[in-house]
Amino acid sequence: MERLSTRQVYVNPWMVVREDAIVRPDGSPGIFGVIDKPDYALVMPLDGGRMHLVEQFRYPLGLRRWEFPQGTAPDRADTEPLELARRELAEETGLRAGRMTPLGLLDVAPGMSSQRGRVYLATELTAGPPAREHTEQDMRTAWFARDEVAAMIRDGRITDAQSIAAYALLLLHEG
């Protein structure tokens, strides 16, 4: 596939939406709408048999959802993944990790978005105050037994695709 042209149709501090005119391998024309977002980090805080989750209102869904701490750097900046993971963990939960183990790479929605995410397991945790961004002021956090996290995924209390995929990466990591 070849891109013939691109035009930006929308931009804000978190994303750029563009429309690309393309030509397919058979020569037929087409278009793609693409959401460009910076790469994110997702962190799975694990302390023995407990996991730390955050709950926040997700505007597009109109619902509060439990998920693992995750996010991007401000103003679409590129940030080294491990640094971003440590920042997101401290910002959203107040936790600091003595050890961060990379678990894998996730593509959010490759049919429409360029965004990719790195997943980390955070252990050897120490508590501190969170330093949430203004948009995260309604965020709540809580520790859950690991069995409860699995139950929350099964019964639909956790529906965030990245959190569910990260949990699967953790299971694969553990063998």
Confidence of residue 137 (pLDDT cuts 50, 70, 90): confident
Quote the percentage of the chain above a pLDDT of 70. Answer: 100
Amino acid 87: pLDDT: 94
Mean per-residue pLDDT of the chain: 94
pLDDT at 115 > cutoff 80: yes
Confidence of residue 138 (pLDDT cuts 50, 70, 90): confident
Confidence of residue 135 (pLDDT cuts 50, 70, 90): confident
The CATH homologous superfamily of the domain defined by 40-174: Nucleoside Triphosphate Pyrophosphohydrolase (3.90.79.10)
Confidence of residue 15 (pLDDT cuts 50, 70, 90): very high
What's at 44, amino acid-wise? M
More confident of the two residues 132 and 64: 64
